[in-house]
Amino acid sequence: MTWIVNQQSGQAELAARFRKLMEEPGILQIPGTHDAMAGLIAKKIGFNALYLSGAAYTASRGLPDLGIVTSAEVAERARDIIRATDLPVLVDIDTGFGGVLNVARTAREMQEAGIAAVQLEDQDLPKKCGHLNGKKLISTSEMTQKIKMIKQTAPSLIIVARTDARAVEGMEAAIERVTAYIEAGADAIFPEALQSEAEFRQFAKHVTVPLLANMTEFGQTPYYKAKEFEEMGYQMVIYPVTSLRVAAKAFERVFEQIMQHGTQAGALPDMQTRSELYETISYHDFEGLDKEIAKTVLTKEQ
């Protein structure tokens, strides 16, 4: 049923659901959903939590992942996903969109948007994708200040602290950093761009809070299955840009069909039908709210 009528879960409730999911036995698979439609499809498949990637969100707006969007813009997209799905969402807030004071504002914006959890990284601006070269880090002290600020201004937000230190300072320094982040209040740890099972296991030996693995495509990390990450000691795994990449390639294929053949008819088997689309977006529920709107009747072919 539509969120306009249904009572939506509050931020604290969504955060509690996310915490329960990440602390339960097994591994929590969290698909990246770059928009509300992707979120609805993920929910239909059976996922219980969603991820909004900064890289996927910016790409969906035709922009690179270089820290050039604002916290308000990200919060607005996350709000769309939460309204559509009523699922807990983990949101990538990059560096917090600035210094410690900026992080305070970002945290409150995310909390007010109903976001369950935020992912904060220790890169310096201008930031880069975690699987690329040329990253720069802020000090451990500044990162811990940011974590403490989130706890102070939005205590119900779950904090997933990400470190990019493995590629910049090495594994030992990365482990030292996350130890400090946990002491500052991080609820979970995300070691970015690890390159082998040995590295994943090494991290797991030194971390006492839930661990998140990043199973992105075309990156530094080999393709491990969720069960393999669980066996390495991880409680969560994200697939951050998968939905965006698949959608973009689908756009390319169908537009090529239209350009080359003058029709999209050959691509129909790869499309949602009108009935499937309307079911996904609860079309008839919305329509039913206004008695002045004639009830839509679809044929079997639609």
Residue type, 31: P
CATH topology of domain 11-243: TIM Barrel (3.20.20)
Per-residue pLDDT of the chain (302 residues; tens, 9 = 90+): 567 778 889 999 999 999 999 999 999 999 999 999 999 999 999 999 999 999 999 999 999 988 889 999 999 999 999 999 999 999 999 999 999 999 999 999 999 999 999 999 988 766 655 555 656 788 999 999 999 999 999 999 999 999 988 876 778 899 999 999 999 999 999 998 788 999 999 999 999 999 999 999 998 888 999 999 999 999 999 999 999 999 999 999 999 999 999 999 999 999 999 999 999 988 888 888 877 777 777 777 77
Q: Longest C-alpha distance within the chain, in Å? A: 66
| CA-wise closest residue to 253 among 268, 239, 235 | 268
* CA angle at 86 for the pair 84 and 91, rounded to the nearest 5°: 90
**Domain spans of the chain?**
11-243
Taking CB atoms within 8 Å and a gap of at least 24, the contacts of 246-251 are 247/34, 247/38, 248/59
Phi/psi-derived region of residue 262, left when phi > 0, alpha when psi is between -120 and 50, beta in every other case = left
> Distance (Å, rounded) from C-alpha 161 to C-alpha 147?
8
